[in-house]
Amino acid sequence: MSQAEKLKQGQFTNPETPGYVGFANLPNQVHRKSVKKGFEFTLMVVGESGLGKSTLINSLFLTDLYPERIIPGAAEKIERTVQIEASTVEIEERGVKLRLTVVDTPGYGDAINSQDCFSTIIAYIDDQFERYLHDESGLNRRHIVDNRVHCCFYFISPLGHGLKPLDVQFMKAIHNKVNVVPVIAKADTLTLRERERLKRRILDEIDEHGIKIYHLPDAESDEDEDFKEQTRILKASIPFAVVGSNQQIEAKGKKVRGRLYPWGVVEVENPEHNDFLKLRTMLITHMQDLQEVTQDLHYENFRSERLKRGGRLSSHGYILPLSPATVVHMKTQHLS
């Protein structure tokens, strides 16, 4: 520990700013613990088949989440109901561990009659909340795994003129349960102008139907200008129009990830071509905030509702709210 000792000498025997106590080091302590603990994040992707959801997830996290993909034929798809598939991957970078769970929803919007396709998804989200509530109220809370869905990317098809009725219905059904981030998929089918128009249209329709999508928190007044600028740009680009790809193409003498067309190369990480980088920045920079909103808003709503309802909790025991009598009893019992 000689380096630490050396540092210690340098730090403490030299005259410090008088009055320096040292608890400004507290965020570093928190940092160190978080690095050790790592993070958990659950991302749900919802959208029709063929919108490039899996490719996008692979591109975002530079992994291959679905190594063996079998795309079912049309005949199978007719009868398919929506399934929930969750895959977990652990990403480590510079010592920081992220346990990422991606929840995929194959079969969404595939059936001829898509009336029912979101009930499975909503049941899944509720189930995760229920499990967390269950764990949180249990006796052994040391190893609670947080599988609640922190963010939902909703993929909008670029082919229409805005939101489809299914899109509206679905988003309205889940906007109170999870953070919804609308994403325009396969954005390379649109020219820039068409993209702007579609974005504006989608935002208008979102307003019109009262859908609450996830709003990026405003940058605080004491942040540096770069960060404020970045936040402004991000907010202005919602919904993000993205292109996903994991193939490396040679373009202008360097290798880029992109899609090769006879008329040119669409570069995934080129901000002029699409909003992929912005989406990734938003996700990473606001991962913490997404988790907090899930915990403080969506989960607390769920919990209040659940406790008010009372009754059976997923085949185990009961959780009932503390009645005023119980509270009084706890008080008297304690102070006697």
Partner 1 sequence: MLFLYFCVFLFRCSFISSSLSRVWLVRPGPAAFFLPASRMSNVCANDHDDDLEGILSDFEDTQQGLEPQVQMEESEVEKIDEIPCTSNSSLEDHTRDHGFFGYVGIEAVLDQMRHKAMKTGFEFNVMVVGQSGLGKSTLMNTLFKSKVSRKSCTPDYEEKIHKTVHLQSVSHVIEEKGVKMKLTIIDTPGFGDQINNENCWDPIEKYINVQYEEYLKEELSINRKRRIPDTRVHCCVYFLPPSGHWLRPIDVEFMKRLGKIVNIVPVIAKADTLTIEERLEFRDRIKRDLEAYEISVYPQKEYDQDVEDQILNDKIREKIPFAVVGTDKEHQVNGNKILGRKTKWGIIEVENVAHCEFSDLRDLLIRSHLQDLKDITHNIHYETYRVRRLNEIKMNGIGLSPLMLVNSGSEKDDAGNHV
The footprint of partner 1 on residues 200-259 (CB under 8 A) is 220, 226, 229-230, 233, 246-248, 252-257
- What's at 192, amino acid-wise? L
Q: Is 277 in the site for partner 1 (CB under 8 A)?
A: yes
Binding residue (CB under 8 A) for partner 1 from 77, 300, 302, 311: 300
Q: Is 288 in the site for partner 1 (CB under 8 A)?
A: yes
CB nearer to partner 1: pick between 189 and 281: 281
Binding residue (CB under 8 A) for partner 1 from 113, 115, 140, 221: 140
100 DSSP β-pair partners = 41, 89
CA dihedral (212, 184, 158, 106) in degrees, to 10, reads -90
Q: Is 93 in the site for partner 1 (CB under 8 A)?
A: yes
Binding residue (CB under 8 A) for partner 1 from 118, 280, 302, 311: 280
Rounded Cα distance between 167 and 154, Å, is 8
Name the one range near partner 1 by CB under 8 A: 114-122, 159-167, 168-176, 303-311: 303-311
Distances (CA, A) of 35 to 4, 28, 41, 143: 20, 10, 15, 17
- Burial of 135 per CB tally in 10 Å (0-12, 13-18, 19+): middle
Q: If binding means CB under 8 A, how many residues of this protein chain bind partner 1?
A: 114
Distances (CA, A) of 43 to 89, 210, 283, 294: 12, 23, 10, 12
CB nearer to partner 1: pick between 31 and 161: 31
Residue 106 φ/ψ region, left for φ over 0, alpha for ψ in the -120 to 50 degree band, beta for the rest: beta
Name the one range near partner 1 by CB under 8 A: 33-41, 43-51, 171-179, 198-206: 33-41
Phi then psi for residue 265, to 5 deg, are -115, 130
CB nearer to partner 1: pick between 70 and 335: 335
Q: Is 138 in the site for partner 1 (CB under 8 A)?
A: yes
Q: At its nearest, how many Å lie between partner 1 and the CB of residue 105?
A: 14
Q: Is 284 in the site for partner 1 (CB under 8 A)?
A: yes
CB nearer to partner 1: pick between 78 and 330: 330
Q: At its nearest, how many Å lie between partner 1 and the CB of residue 221?
A: 11
Q: Is 326 in the site for partner 1 (CB under 8 A)?
A: yes
Q: At its nearest, how many Å lie between partner 1 and the CB of residue 59?
A: 10
CB nearer to partner 1: pick between 129 and 154: 129
What is the DSSP track for 128-157?
HHHHHHHHHTSS--TT----S--EEEEEE-
Q: At its nearest, how many Å lie between partner 1 and the CB of residue 256?
A: 5
Q: At its nearest, how many Å lie between partner 1 and the CB of residue 327?
A: 7
Are 298 and 177 a contacting pair, CB within 8 Å? yes
Are 126 and 148 a contacting pair, CB within 8 Å? no
Alpha helices in 24-139 (DSSP H): 26-37, 53-61, 74-79, 117-136
Q: Is 36 in the site for partner 1 (CB under 8 A)?
A: yes
Name the one range near partner 1 by CB under 8 A: 44-52, 70-78, 90-98, 193-201: 90-98
Q: At its nearest, how many Å lie between partner 1 and the CB of residue 282?
A: 11
Q: Is 264 in the site for partner 1 (CB under 8 A)?
A: no
Rounded Cα distance between 202 and 186, Å, is 16
Binding residue (CB under 8 A) for partner 1 from 79, 196, 204, 296: 296
Are 188 and 243 a contacting pair, CB within 8 Å? yes
Q: Is 135 in the site for partner 1 (CB under 8 A)?
A: yes
158-187 residues in contact with partner 1 (CB under 8 A) are none
Question: Going by DSSP bridges, is the β-strand pair 39-46/151-156 parallel, antiparallel, or unpaired?
Answer: parallel
Rounded Cα distance between 25 and 5, Å, is 17
